[in-house]
């Protein structure tokens, strides 16, 4: 076995041990690949609850990383198919805790050092311990609250994109496009966009 899979396995076992010791989860679906001379370097492990109420509601925690892309993720979810999941960032934001703690190591440089990886994994594990009360208690309303938050974020991103496009259309005097972009979000417009919409309508009227 190459160095990265070994380092990942040692680090995640140390940082994620609380899932086994405190919450009765068990590790499954381990995967770690390091192919020399390619970008195929990734690893993941999924922890599942030992006694789920049903397979469709089986809770899980998944740690994954792709060090050459500087990616490190911790997700929570439910269901045997593993398709229903949310990021630790989403869970952290739901309880109003602000931004996640910053990384202290470069994932690429740390990928063969189990101690450095364990430190990064422990940061995410600490966030899950602090923000995961509803997840570990099996609160079913958690998933709906996370879905609503995700939809709110998506709408905010869409509104910002519409505003940006409307600004360009306004400068180009494309009044119909300004109206088409801003009318659907009229109730949430700021002062500048509202003025642009009124002006564009006036030009068309």
pLDDT digits (tens, 9 = 90+) for 150-196: 998 888 888 889 889 989 999 999 999 988 898 888 888 888 988 99
165 in Cβ contact with 181 (< 8 Å): yes
Give the model's pLDDT for residue 108.
Answer: 85
Any bridge partners for residue 63, and if so which?
45, 74
As a whole number of angstroms, the distance between CA 190 and CA 182 comes to: 11
Beta strands per DSSP E along 58-185: 59-66, 71-78, 84-87
**Whether 144 contacts 78, CB under 8 Å:** no
> How far lies 81's CA from each of 55, 57, 144, in Å?
9, 10, 18
Give 3-state DSSP helix, strand, coil % of the chain, rounded to 5: 60, 20, 25
Cα angle for residues 187, 193, 198 (degrees, 5° grid): 80
Would you state the pLDDT for residue 39?
66
pLDDT of residue 128: 96
- Assess whether pLDDT exceeds 70 at residue 80: yes
Model confidence at 81, in pLDDT bands (50, 70, 90)?
Answer: confident
**Residue 64 CB burial class (10 angstroms; 0-12, 13-18, ≥19):** middle
pLDDT range class, residue 55, cuts 50, 70, 90: low
């Amino acid at each position: 076995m190459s160095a990265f899979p070994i380092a990942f396995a040692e680090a995640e076992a140390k940082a994620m041990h609380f899932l086994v010791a405190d919450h009765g989860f068990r590790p499954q679906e381990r995967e770690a690949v390091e192919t020399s001379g390619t970008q195929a370097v990734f690893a993941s492990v999924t922890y599942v609850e030992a006694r789920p109420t049903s397979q469709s509601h089986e809770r899980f925690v998944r740690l994954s990383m792709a060090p050459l892309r500087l990616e490190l993720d911790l997700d929570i979810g439910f269901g045997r198919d593993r398709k229903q999941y949310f990021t630790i960032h989403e869970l952290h934001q739901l309880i109003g805790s602000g931004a996640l703690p910053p990384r202290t190591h470069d994932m690429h440089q740390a990928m063969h050092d189990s101690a450095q990886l364990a430190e990064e994994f422990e940061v995410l594990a600490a966030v899950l311990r602090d923000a995961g009360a509803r997840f570990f208690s099996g609160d079913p309303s958690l998933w709906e609250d996370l879905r609503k938050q995700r939809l709110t974020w998506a709408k905010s991103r869409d509104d910002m994109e519409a505003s940006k496009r409307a600004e360009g259309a306004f400068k180009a005097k494309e009044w119909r496009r300004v109206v088409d972009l801003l009318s659907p979000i009229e109730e949430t417009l700021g002062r500048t966009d509202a003025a642009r919409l009124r002006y564009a309508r006036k030009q068309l009227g």
